[in-house]
Amino acid sequence: MSSPSRLTFGLTADGQPVRSLTSAVLAHVRAEILSCRLKPGEKVLISLLARRLGVSLSAVREALSRLAAEGLVRAEDQRGFRVTPVSIEDLRDITRTRVDLEGLALRRAIELGDARWEERVRAAHDALAATPLPPRGEPGPSFERWRMLHQQFHLALVSACGSEWLLRFRHILFEQSERYRFLAYSVRPRDIEGEHRMIMQATLDRDIEAAIEALGDHLALTADIIIDSIGSGPRIIASIPDE
């Protein structure tokens, strides 16, 4: 049976450290889904997952029920669960909506942000740039740390937008886009650090149009890489092989 110490790391859906066994199981399973160790469309074997993590069946079911509410898994008959499939059509919809919504949030943040916001953006960028991107499909402390820092950087950019509702909807789209981003990053080389640096610099220069354009290009590139790698159309992505 796996040691429970494997569940001492992780983040809740809003980026906070885990504080209980339930939230630890939830964070671990979410990490496996977002890193595509649990692949899109794959049936989740509850008993196997419980044995591997060294926890009860009920703990895993509770985690999966919460992930179903987040849209990362789907409940099936007989209390089973399957990782939510991903598709080109869904990817395009998420990307278009996220570019629009996050661009609006960034515009407002640049207009309203003060010196403390600027420092938060700079610090979040520097922390992310100093952390190597972990290999795909390896959920664990390194993966969770990079994911946390990446999430914090993108949140810092828009954190001064002045709208809790805008930030809430933006977070939903961010979480839904995570699996697509991790499907893409080992398929074709890209300068993620350079993309982040360009977004940060335009933001701190208060160049609204340049910042929105850099952010939109950053988000769209992930979609382009996936679409180029598997072709166009509404087909379901089962997996993308490493090159």
pLDDT tens-digit readout, 109-118? 999 999 999 9
The token pair at 193 is 């650090």
Q: Are 10 and 53 in contact (CB under 8 A)?
A: no
Banded model confidence at residue 231, pLDDT cuts 50, 70, 90:
low
Question: Distance between CA 3 and CA 25 in Å, rounded?
Answer: 12
List C-alpha distances in Å: 71 to 68, 82, 126, 158, 173: 5, 11, 31, 23, 11
Q: Which range scores top for mean pLDDT: 2-6, 132-136, 232-236?
A: 132-136
In the chain the domains, ranked by start, together with CATH numbers, are 4-83 (1.10.10.10), 88-230 (1.20.120.530)
Q: How confident is the model at residue 1 (pLDDT cuts 50, 70, 90)?
A: very low
Whole-prediction pTM? 0.74
Q: What is the structure's pLDDT at 230? A: 62
Dist CA 232 CA 130 (whole Å): 35
- Is the pLDDT confidence value at 210 over 80? yes
Q: What pLDDT score was predicted for residue 185? A: 56
Query: How many angstroms separate the CA atoms of 237 and 39, rounded?
Result: 9
